[in-house]
Amino acid sequence: MVGPWRANDDSMATVEERDAEVKEYREKCRLAKSILCIGAGATGIETASYLKETWTEKTVGICQRGNVMMPDIPGAHKHV
């Protein structure tokens, strides 16, 4: 499932269409047994943390390339 921030084409949705898309995405997350976040940069870590705080009963995972989370921030991996 691609998140609501990425369109399938280059068209710009209206605010109402974006709101509906975000609501639909949140409902899919609510119904899912588990959620996998792709990317262990700052945005991926923040998103995974938000999802786990929102739905504490769900398994939330992070998929990353390499073996270091938040590689652009020196020393961040050991704190994550």
Which DSSP string corresponds to 26-38? HHHHHH-SEEEEE
| Token pair recorded at residue 69 | 């989370």
Residue 42 lies in a domain: yes
3-state secondary structure of 69: coil
DSSP string, 30-65: HH-SEEEEE--SHHHHHHHHHHHHH-TTSEEEEE-S
How many domains does the structure of the chain reveal?
1
Instruction: Give the chain's length.
Output: 80
Residue 6 lies in a domain: no
Residue 24 lies in a domain: no
Q: Over the stretch 34-58, which tens digit does the pLDDT of each residue have?
A: 999 998 888 889 999 999 999 999 9
Q: Residue 62: beta bridge partners?
A: 37
Residue 27 lies in a domain: no
75: left (phi > 0), else alpha (psi -120 to 50), else beta? left
Residue 21 lies in a domain: no
Asked if residue 22 has pLDDT above 70, the reply is yes
- Mean pLDDT within 29-33: 94
Residue 49 structural domain: 35-80
Asked if residue 32 has pLDDT above 90, the reply is yes
Asked if residue 2 has pLDDT above 60, the reply is no
- Mean pLDDT within 19-44: 91
Residue 41 lies in a domain: yes
Residue 71 lies in a domain: yes
What is the pTM for the complete model shown? 0.72
Residue 47 lies in a domain: yes
Q: What pLDDT band is residue 67 in, cutting at 50, 70 and 90?
A: confident
